[in-house]
Amino acid sequence: MILMAVMALASCEKKSELVAPAGENETYIVTLQATAPDIDTRTEYSATGVFSWSAGDQISVLCNNGTENKYFTLTTAESGASVTFSGAIDAGYSLGELTSGTKIALYPASDHKYVAADSKPIKFNIPSVIDFTTSHYSANMPLYAEGDADNNFAFQNLACGFKFKFTEVSASKARLVIQSQNTYQLSGDIPIHSGPYLDHGYADIGSQKGSLTLIANVEDETVTFYVPFRYYAPFFPIITLYDADTDEVLYTNTAAHSAQINSLGNVKPITISVTGYVFSFPSKYGIDWNAETVSGEGDSSSDNSGIKVMKAKADASYLYLYFEVEKAKLITDASYDYANSATLYAGDESDPNCTKSSWIWGSAETYTADGTLGWLVHNGVPAFYSWETFVQPDTGNKAGSAVENGDYFYYEVRIHRNNTKAPMTSTSASTAHVGMIIYYQKYKGGSLGGFYMIAPKTASHGGALLRVPLPAYVAPTE
C-alpha cells in the first residue's frame, strides 16, 4: 500500500455576472482555477505518474446562505495540470462554511454532507459502486482543500491506496469487490478527521458500507484498481474479481490477517502487485514528519532497543516530538490503566545550569532537566497521557496523539517552550538539546524491572542528543 503524495493546488475564485436570473431559481457562475505542479504522486494515475485533471472532473464546494450549508458542483472541460472549474451557484449563497467561514472543496464531487453539530462535520461520500469505464482512476483519490482569504486552495490527499494489478484476465471488463473483515467502513459517508484524513467508522459485517465495488476496462489482459483506505488502519479484506459482463468469478482471496495482503501476488494464474506501504503520520499540527531532518535512531542494543526513530522540530511557541516505538517492546496489557512511562531530557544552551553530564549521551552532553513526558499506552492501546512538567499547561491527552500501524506505535507530542521544567524561551538560545527514555512500567502493581528504551542512540553507540533549531520565542496565543 502506498501513501498518495500531497497535492499542492492553487486556485482562485471570481464571480461572473448573473447568468439569466429568473425568479427563485437565480444563479450565478463561480469559477475556480486549480493548478497542479509537477509532483510525482507515485500512484500511476496518469501515464507520467504526475497527477493532472481530466475533462469532466468535478469538485464539490461548500457554500452557505447565512442560514444553512450546501454543496455545489463545479466542473472542468479541460485536461492538464492547470484547469478551470466552474459551475452555477444559487443566488444568495457564497463560498464558505456557515459558522467559521472556512472555504472547503472536495474531490471528486459526490453526495458529500456537512453536519455542523458533529465533532467531525464533513462527511466524505465514497459511492459503494464506482465505474471507471467512463472515468479515470484519479477520480477515486479523495482530496480536500481549504481556501485562504484570497481564495487559493491547497489540496491534500485524504487516504492511502492499495493497488491491485491483475494480469492474464480473459475478459473485456472486470469488477472488483472488496469486503472488509474488520468492520471498517469502505464506502458511504466517511468523516474527515482533522489532519486531514478519512476517519473510517465501523460498518456491520455484510453491510453495504463495509464493501466497495470498482469496475474497469481490461487492456492487454491487464486491469488495475486503486482502493482508498484510511492512513493507519489495518487493511483486512476479502477480494473477488468478476467478469463484469458474465459475473463469472475470475479470482478470490481472503486475507488471514492484515499483513497477508503482501503475499497475495504469489497466487496464479492472476498476479496481484501490491506496492510497499509508506506510512504518513496524521499530524495534529500539520507537520510532515517524513520530511523532517532533525532525527535520530533509537539505540539498537538488546537492553535499550524498541524506539525506531525520534524526530523533533520547534516553532516560535512550541517544541514538537515524534517517535516510533516497537509494539512488542511495550506493555499492551489492557488490564493496566497506564503503561510505559516516558522521560524527556531537554534544555537549551542559554541556561547556566545546563551542565548536567549525561550517563546516557556522554559527559560532553548537557541538558537543563529531565522530567515526566507521559504514559504511552492506556488500557492496552496507544495514547499519550501527561499531567506535569514538560507539557504544562496541557493536561490529559491534549498535548499529543498516537496511532497504531503494523508493528509500531507512533506518537506526536507538543511541548510548550515556556514549560515549568526546562523553559526554552531565552533570547540568547538558538538550539534545544533533546533526548528520551521509555521505561517498561505499568500503573497498578508498580514497575516491571529496569528495562528501558533510549533515543537517540547512547554515546557508546555513536549517538548524541538531538539539536533542534529554535526560532525567537513568542508566547502562544491559544
* C-alpha–C-alpha distance, residues 8 and 6, integer Å: 6
Rounded alpha-carbon distances, angstroms, from residue 155 to 116, 128, 280: 22, 24, 16
Q: Which three cell numbers stand for residue 426?
A: 531565552
Strands 211-217 and 129-131: parallel
- Do 115 and 98 touch, CB atoms closer than 8 A? no
Average pLDDT over residues 275-300: 76
pLDDT at position 436: 94
Which pLDDT belongs to residue 194?
Answer: 80
* Averaged pLDDT for residues 41-58: 56
Q: Considering the entire predicted model, what is its pTM? A: 0.52
pLDDT 10s digits, 25-40: 577 776 665 544 333 3
pLDDT greater than 60 at residue 206 = no
Is residue 320 pLDDT above 60, yes or no? yes
User: CB under 8 Å to 319, separation ≥6 — which residues?
Assistant: 312, 313, 346, 414, 415, 416, 417, 424, 432, 434, 468
**pLDDT tens-digit series, residues 447-472:** 665 678 999 998 888 888 999 999 99
Enumerate the domain spans of the chain. 2-266, 294-469
Is the model more confident about 298 or about 78? 298
Contacts of 57 (CB under 8 A, 6+ apart): 75, 76, 83, 85, 107, 108, 139
Measured in whole angstroms, the distance separating CA 458 from the mean position of its chain's CA atoms is: 31
Quote the CA–CA distance of 311 and 392 in Å, as a whole number: 21
pLDDT value, residue 283: 81
One DSSP character per residue, 369-397 reads EEEEEEEEEETTEEEEEB-SGGGTT--BT
352 versus 160: which is more confidently predicted?
160
User: Shortest CA distance to 124 belongs to which of 138, 110, 140, 104?
Assistant: 110
Q: What is the pLDDT of residue 393?
A: 59
- Model confidence over 357-407: pLDDT tens digits? 667 887 766 677 888 888 999 888 888 888 766 776 555 555 678 888 768
| Closest by CA position to 400, among listed 231, 294, 285 | 285
d(CA 30, CA 92) in angstroms, rounded, equals 13
Residues 6+ apart with CB under 8 A from 477: none
Between 413 and 359, the more confident residue is 413
Q: What count of other Cβ atoms lies within 10 Å of the Cβ of residue 454?
A: 24
What amino acid occupies position 11? S
Do β-strands 122-126 and 188-193 pair in parallel, antiparallel, or remain unpaired?
antiparallel
Instruction: Return the minimum-mean-pLDDT range out of 181-185, 187-191, 298-302, 432-436.
Output: 181-185
Three-state DSSP at 28 gives: strand
CA 255, CA 95: separation in Å to the nearest integer?
44
The grid coordinates listed for 62 are 461548500
What gap in Å lies between CA 202 and CA 210, rounded to an integer? Answer: 8
pLDDT 10s digits, 323-347: 999 999 999 988 888 899 999 998 8
Contact 184, 160 (CB under 8 A): no
For the domain made up of 294-469, give the CATH fold: Immunoglobulin-like (2.60.40)
Percentage of the chain with pLDDT > 70?
Answer: 73
Q: Which of 405, 184, 383 is nearest to 281 (CA)?
A: 405
Cα dihedral value 214, 217, 221, 227, nearest 10: -30
Q: What angle do CA 181, 183, 189 make, to 5 degrees?
A: 130
∠ CA 281-282-287, nearest 5°, is 80
* CA–CA gap between residue 300 and residue 88 (Å, rounded): 60
